[in-house]
Amino acid sequence: MPVLPLRDSDVDSTRAFAADELLYRRVLPSEELADGEIDPTRFNSLSFKKELDGAPSVLRSQFAIPEDALHSDCAGDKNVSQQKVYSIRVDELPGQIKAQDGKAYSVYPVHRPLPTCGAHSVIGSCMAEDLTKTYAVPSQTARNDLRVKLAAKMRPVDLAKNPAIQDATST
């Protein structure tokens, strides 16, 4: 059994995402409601930068377990132990997000392994009509639409039920 998290050299970055593959993402406690759901109005860690590598990050379950999202190797050596892990299936990502001006963007997962985190991926975006999927930063209203749609679909992962969390947090 390989040691998790996997490194970039341990994964096949050309492997296509399966429709039922899970994507794991850390969520700040301040972004949650009392019932454990994500509050889209406070889901501010979901941001897009000018380059694809600055799109919202996720880990793909093909190469990770949920606990990897809290591992320092997958968190850029940051202490994220107070955050929770949520998941969403690839086929539950919204097909399109819409801007107030009528423009539509498509969102899709892109595998972007990092040296110490082979499962690292991002949620990319492009103009809906762009068949080449050239990365495009969605407008603010489209990002807000994405926050609402993701918050409705993402589910918390119960790490306490998985014994692997004991190993990940004790190291």
CA atoms of 53 and 30, how far apart (whole Å): 24
Residue 104 burial (C-beta neighbours within 10 Å; 0-12, 13-18, 19+)? middle
Sequence-ordered alpha helix ranges (H) in 55-119: none
Q: For the chain, which residues make up each domain, given as ranges?
A: 8-161
Residue 25 has pLDDT above 80, yes or no: yes
Tell me what pLDDT residue 169 has: 36
Query: How many Å apart are CA 136 and CA 128, to the nearest integer?
Result: 10
Assign 162 a pLDDT band (cuts: 50, 70, 90): low
pLDDT at 3: 63
Entry pTM: 0.89
